[in-house]
């Protein structure tokens, strides 16, 4: 396939915005966990499980649905998944009890995988020498969606019934479904002659055969696990330490704007220097964040500084790992992305569950110790498996 010389700025922006809009669905629950627990009469540990199964549902959606991007026309597949996501959001809005809401939030996780079809599609469309930069911009959209979803959810949860958040989200997704139908580039590949189960059975082999994919998957597991350790317990910590509500938890999410601003720069750094360098920086930033949370997290200024550093670390890791994964093989980019992102959100779900358990039993120090375990695993991965010094620039 002959590569285009450049990629339209409008196309890049559309992919970034849609990615952020859809991924937001996963994070609405985090700042309003206290409200959900009170409304349904369930414990904080139980609502922590609900947040965990959203991430776990997303992980299995990544494993079982995202590989379809290597089989089917991605233009149509993205829209089909958006429709299913809207239906899941409406079920969450109408849920009369915790059991139905648990089913709805699981389905929200499973069906909100369109961003992980868009990301390899962007990597496929981008010229090889622009791939890191393009992925950095699209991933800025991803992180913006995560950040604004927490603020959106936390602020609205303080002024209206929390269920309305899911209704509004469904309406926004419907608007962007129309925009995607009109403006997203068609997939020139069309449908490919691949069998679904053959593709799924290939996933473990891809993990085993590709050292770079293994390294990125383990790093992503750990770094997103660390991120969710904070965000799954922040609402509880703010309520206990500062007597603050979901609106403040949402506002603190905006501090991650630093990660959004640096993402294109990180992408350029990966292109021009080395993903090994940027992965190393990601661990330093995230590790420093939890040192600050541990030592001075009881001061609001310390909490703010730690959140900024943690979001920087998460973004450095995400952009670097995506650039590595999308440079491996353009013909199996969705499958490689499926393996990476399954590991990524598996780490996130385990981080959520472990952190809520640690909070219930050991408080804030227990939460920080859970993050330390993730960091140790990431450092071992960095030293033993490592990352490539340079991205693969060959085209397939």
What pLDDT digit, counting tens, does each position of 217-273 carry?
A: 999 999 999 999 998 888 888 888 887 776 776 677 677 676 667 766 776 777 777
Q: Compute the distance between CA of residue 250 and CA of residue 183 in angstroms, rounded to an integer.
A: 32
In order of their start, the domains of the chain are 9-384 (1.20.1250.20)
Contact 16, 140 (CB under 8 A): yes
Alpha-carbon distances of 78 from 3, 126, 180, 197, 219, rounded to whole Å: 23, 18, 9, 20, 27
What pLDDT digit, counting tens, does each position of 298-350 carry?
A: 888 999 999 989 988 988 898 889 888 888 876 787 788 889 988 988 898 89
Q: Compute the distance between CA of residue 190 and CA of residue 16 in angstroms, rounded to an integer.
A: 22
What pLDDT digit, counting tens, does each position of 72-128 carry?
A: 889 999 999 999 999 999 999 999 999 999 999 999 999 999 998 998 888 888 887
**pTM attached to this predicted model:** 0.75
Q: Compute the distance between CA of residue 368 and CA of residue 364 in angstroms, rounded to an integer.
A: 6
Q: Compute the distance between CA of residue 228 and CA of residue 150 in angstroms, rounded to an integer.
A: 12
């Amino acid at each position: 396939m002959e590569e285009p010389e450049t990629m339209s700025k409008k196309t890049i922006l559309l992919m970034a915005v849609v990615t952020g809009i859809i991924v937001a669905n996963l994070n609405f629950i985090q700042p309003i966990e206290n409200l959900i627990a009170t409304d349904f009469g369930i414990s904080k540990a139980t609502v922590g499980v609900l947040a965990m199964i959203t991430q776990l549902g997303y992980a299995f959606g990544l494993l079982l649905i995202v590989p379809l991007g290597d089989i089917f026309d991605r233009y149509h597949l993205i829209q089909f998944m958006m429709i299913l996501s809207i239906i899941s959001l409406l079920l969450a809005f109408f849920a009369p009890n915790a059991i139905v809401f648990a089913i709805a939030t699981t389905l929200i996780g499973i069906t909100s995988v369109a961003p992980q079809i868009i990301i390899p599609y962007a990597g496929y469309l981008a010229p090889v020498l622009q791939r890191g930069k393009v992925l950095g911009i699209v991933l800025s959209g991803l992180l913006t969606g995560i950040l604004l979803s927490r603020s959106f959810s936390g602020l609205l949860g303080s002024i209206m019934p929390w269920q309305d958040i899911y209704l509004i989200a469904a309406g926004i997704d419907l608007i962007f479904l129309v925009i995607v139908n009109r403006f997203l580039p068609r997939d020139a590949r069309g449908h490919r002659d691949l069998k679904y189960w053959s593709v799924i059975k290939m996933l473990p082999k891809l993990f085993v055969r590709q050292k770079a994919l293994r390294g990125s998957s383990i790093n992503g597991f750990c770094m997103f696990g660390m991120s969710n350790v904070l965000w799954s317990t922040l609402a509880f910590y703010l309520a206990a330490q500062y007597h603050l509500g979901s609106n403040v938890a949402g506002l603190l999410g905006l501090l991650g704007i630093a990660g959004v601003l640096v993402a294109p720069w990180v992408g350029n750094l990966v292109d021009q220097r080395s993903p090994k360098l940027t992965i190393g920086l990601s661990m330093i930033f995230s590790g420093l964040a939890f040192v600050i949370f541990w030592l001075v997290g009881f001061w609001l200024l310390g909490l703010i500084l730690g959140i900024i550093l943690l979001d920087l670390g998460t973004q450095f890791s995400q952009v670097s790992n995506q650039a590595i994964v999308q440079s491996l093989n353009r013909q199996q980019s969705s499958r490689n992305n499926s393996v990476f992102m399954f590991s990524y959100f598996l780490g996130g779900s385990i981080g959520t569950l472990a952190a809520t358990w640690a909070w219930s039993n050991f408080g804030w120090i227990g939460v920080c110790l859970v993050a330390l375990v993730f960091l140790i695993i990431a450092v071992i991965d960095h030293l033993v498996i490592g990352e490539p010094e340079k991205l693969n620039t060959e085209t397939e």
